[in-house]
């Protein structure tokens, strides 16, 4: 199969006119005027690497933590309709047996995806701060436990684990956990010094920067400033314009630069649906005008998706090149899968998000070489 007559964002993330040959679900050749196979004419389109969402709790009415037979099928199909080709379903702070069941459900679904495919699990909780718990259930929060992480990783590969670096034993946990997966600072009341120590000892990522942590004060920088200063660490940004003001988002993208910014949806089951009453990890969430809130007004996850955020990011003044990287190679690199996906390069999976020439309309997606 050859994708022809489109502009592509190549492995250098520079747009150019080129054809792409796909064989056995992988990119076999990139060049001009390729011939010798079934041709897909994509005139007037732009081919991007497939969008990747490494932090998503649910969409289309499905919640990963519910661990129902249909859950991941619904998420897989819905995400493909949003232009997402791969994802990390995110767990919540729940009793161990419920987390275990969600992991088992994911393990049983691997390879059966009808749309976007699973890269591994994002384990958000239970090693989080009570003070900055957000929508996480406080009853089940506890100190970091490396044995728990190892047991769950044996069930289904963990790509990302969230950690409040101020918790007892957190630094030792980060050091050991970093041998298994990416460790991310999250839902934290850490001081600047506590967070900085974490970034020097195994933490290489930040979960939804500026959400679930103190704001930036002039004499109390906190975890957010430590995250921005940690040049070895990527950082998630929920780019719906609700979790963080657009002007602030534009500034954060500029500070992080084009290689450290990661767009995530952090969406819940209401993504793709209308306003109403929903559940997130057993907690009731009220969605009004697209904004998800707990009963006390605390913001809870989102109802957005990566394609909507991609358009937002550009509208906020972020360069297109950085917007593309933030939705593709950066999340892939953050969880260590950039050798197989995240950019248009020979040998990588043929995961493509195809947009209109103005980047405002989703035309189609290709997942492992199959048009969805």
Residues that are catalytic: 266
DSSP letters of 183-240?
A: EEE-S----HHHHHHHHTTTEEEESSTTSSSPPP-SS--HHHHHHHH-TT-EEEEE-S
- Do residues 50 and 366 lie in contact, with contact meaning Cβ atoms separated by under 8 Å? yes
The closest alpha carbon to 177, from 147, 205, 154, belongs to 147
Tell me which residue of 59, 6, 84, 109 sits closest to 367, measured CA to CA. Answer: 84
Mark 51-89 as b/e (b = at least 16 C-beta within 10 Å).
bbbbbbbbbbbbbbbbbeeebbbbbbbbbbbbbbbbbbb
Q: How many CB atoms neighbour CB 212 within 10 A? A: 27
CA nearest neighbour of 242 among 181, 299, 175: 299
CA atoms within 13 A of residue 234's CA, in its CB half-sphere: 24
């Amino acid at each position: 199969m050859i994708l022809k007559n489109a502009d592509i964002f190549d492995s250098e993330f520079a747009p150019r006119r080129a054809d792409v040959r796909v064989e056995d679900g992988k990119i076999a050749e990139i060049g001009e005027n390729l011939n010798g196979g079934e041709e897909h004419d994509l005139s007037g389109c732009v081919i991007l690497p497939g969008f990747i969402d490494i932090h998503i709790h649910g969409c289309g009415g499905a919640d990963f933590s519910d661990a129902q037979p249909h859950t991941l099928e619904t998420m897989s199909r819905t995400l493909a309709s949003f232009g997402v080709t791969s994802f990390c379903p995110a767990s919540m702070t729940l009793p161990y047996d419920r987390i275990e069941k969600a992991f088992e459900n994911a393990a049983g679904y691997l390879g059966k995806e009808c749309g976007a495919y699973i890269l591994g699990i994002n384990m958000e909780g239970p090693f989080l701060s009570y003070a900055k718990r957000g929508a996480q259930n406080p009853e089940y929060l506890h100190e970091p436990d490396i044995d728990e992480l190892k047991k769950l990783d044996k069930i289904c590969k963990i790509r990302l684990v969230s950690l409040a670096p101020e918790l007892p034993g957190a630094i030792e946990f980060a050091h050991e956990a970093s041998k298994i997966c990416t460790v991310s600072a999250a839902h934290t009341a850490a001081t600047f010094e506590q967070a900085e120590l974490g970034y020097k000892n195994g933490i290489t990522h930040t979960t939804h920067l500026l959400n679930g942590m103190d704001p930036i004060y002039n004499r109390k920088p906190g975890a957010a400033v430590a995250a921005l200063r940690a040049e070895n660490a990527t950082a998630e940004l929920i780019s719906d314009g609700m979790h963080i003001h657009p002007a602030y988002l534009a500034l954060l993208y500029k500070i992080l630069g084009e290689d450290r910014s990661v767009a995530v949806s952090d969406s819940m089951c209401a993504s793709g649906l209308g306003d109403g009453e929903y559940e997130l990890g057993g907690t009731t969430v009220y969605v009004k005008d697209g904004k998800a809130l707990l009963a006390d007004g605390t913001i809870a996850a989102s109802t957005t998706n990566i394609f909507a955020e991609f358009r937002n990011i550009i509208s906020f003044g972020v360069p297109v090149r950085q917007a593309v990287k933030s939705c593709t190679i950066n999340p892939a690199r953050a969880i260590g899968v950039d050798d197989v996906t995240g950019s248009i390069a020979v040998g990588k999976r043929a995961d493509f998000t195809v947009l209109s020439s103005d980047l405002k309309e989703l035309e189609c997606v290709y997942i492992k070489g199959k048009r969805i």
